[in-house]
Amino acid sequence: MNPPLLQFVWRGEIVTLPHVPPTRTLLQLLREDLNHSATKEGCNEGDCGACTVVLAELQGEQVRYNAVNSCIRMAHAINGMALWTAGDLTAPDGTPHPVQQALHQCHASQCGFCTPGFAMSLFGLYQNRVLKDRPVSRTQAQAALSGNLCRCTGYRPILDAAEQMGALPPVHVDEARLREQLAGIAPARRDQANAPTYDAPTRLDALLAARAARPQAQLVAGCTDVGLWINKLHMDFAQVLDVTRAAELRTIEVQDSHTVIGAAVSLNDAFAALERDRPQLHAFFSRFAGLPVRHAGTLGGNIVNGSPIGDSMPLLIALRASVLLMSVRGQRELPLEALYTGYRKNVMAADEVLAFVRVPRPQPGELLRVYKVAKRLEDDISAVCLAIHLQLQDARVMRASVGLGGVAATPVRAMQTEAALTGQAWTHDAVTQAKAALRGEFQPISDLRASAAYRVQVLDGLMERFWLESQGVQDASLDALTLAGENA
């Protein structure tokens, strides 16, 4: 079996590459196969942002630009997209792009190793905001650069550059020509009858058929974790099945009682949909990895990965979300917490795919908070994640849902704690009982992120904070909890 042709738009032309192995990363393709050194290799695990590139794809008639980490992006995953690297911003006559001019004028580079990644994150911001006459605020710049780390320059001049680039003469991409080129790369060319080693079906029925025919193929749904298996564990896969091109799985449907999110919807888009119903979730979502990871990763991939410190699952468990598993044999729906059987293990059959996530919409009397405690405020893995969801009526807890991460081998639901709260008047005495139940319900481990004793102590503090916030107290600082994590 041979890999399918890889086709993408780069530097204004359609590039066609045969014989690209299924587990070749985009960074490897650029640096080793195409001898393109402008994109840097830093951590090689999606944390530092030195390898950031911008991808563009058609969504209807619109072109959407996303900054992603090329080190954990499979090369074949960019088929049918357009690519920009830090070496592609300067005009043919040598005129620097406004992003480059702003970085230069603001003295926003010292050693320069991280600068290509910062430039590409700013280029994505430039395309999505500046060229649409939407000014860039400092807060928006910080969000756009959340996946980029600088060791020597410092962030102030880089943020200055982000604000200044909109004041320079604009530079536009020829999107009319780009749309023609992207439309000319037919995804069907990849649906080969001889079972390609990298398969990315564009329809759900074709995806399920491929899964049934090749259950041994490695599923990828954004590859932000599988990319680490390849880079750090040196794993290789003879066959890869990519779920992210199936059109049905890229949809978000808002129903009367539920929001139904396709498994291939990016984390960023899925979080935006959930945030529209529950704006209080914004701060939590902004702490989930960096923006390039949220652009590439998918909600379905994060769920199926099953990491005990995957941050989306405690929230979804607390919201009583369910997952829809599909195969050529049919479909079944189950509560999210019932998906897991052990550390990174689940109940899915070899021919099944997680297709949709169903999240109940808010009801009157809802009280919801989700807390993440980590050693850094941004771009870090949780030591503890706690989500609490109460349904109150006449100051009484009619229903309680509590989801946790970082305290067991899987994301879990705290059913004993829920039982301690349900039916109780919403008072501090009820919170005290819930704390006692929560302390005894799980036996967290000690690891590099936190000790078991610290995790238990943090859960106590977060329950107390939840009570205070429910009473209108707003000075319980998440920053203070984060600093406490640093000192643990």
Handedness of CA 229, 344, 206, 297 (dihedral sign): negative
For the chain, how many residues are written?
A: 488
Locate 11 and state its tokens: 């530097």
Token pair 């604009």 in the structure block, residue: 170
pLDDT in tens, 335-371: 999 999 999 999 999 999 999 999 999 999 999 999 9
Cβ within 8 Å of residue 147, ≥6 positions away: 46, 47, 49, 52, 67, 69, 121, 289, 290, 291, 292, 293, 379
Locate 89 and state its tokens: 């911003």
pLDDT in tens, 203-250: 999 999 999 999 999 999 999 999 999 999 999 999 999 999 999 999
pLDDT class of 186 with cuts at 50, 70, 90: low
- Domains annotated for the chain, with CATH where assigned, are 1-189 (3.10.20.30), 248-360 (3.30.465.10), 366-486 (3.30.390.50)
pLDDT in tens, 124-159: 999 999 999 999 999 999 999 999 999 899 999 999
pLDDT class of 188 with cuts at 50, 70, 90: very low
Give burial (CB, 10 Å; 0-12/13-18/19+) of 330.
exposed
pLDDT class of 310 with cuts at 50, 70, 90: very high
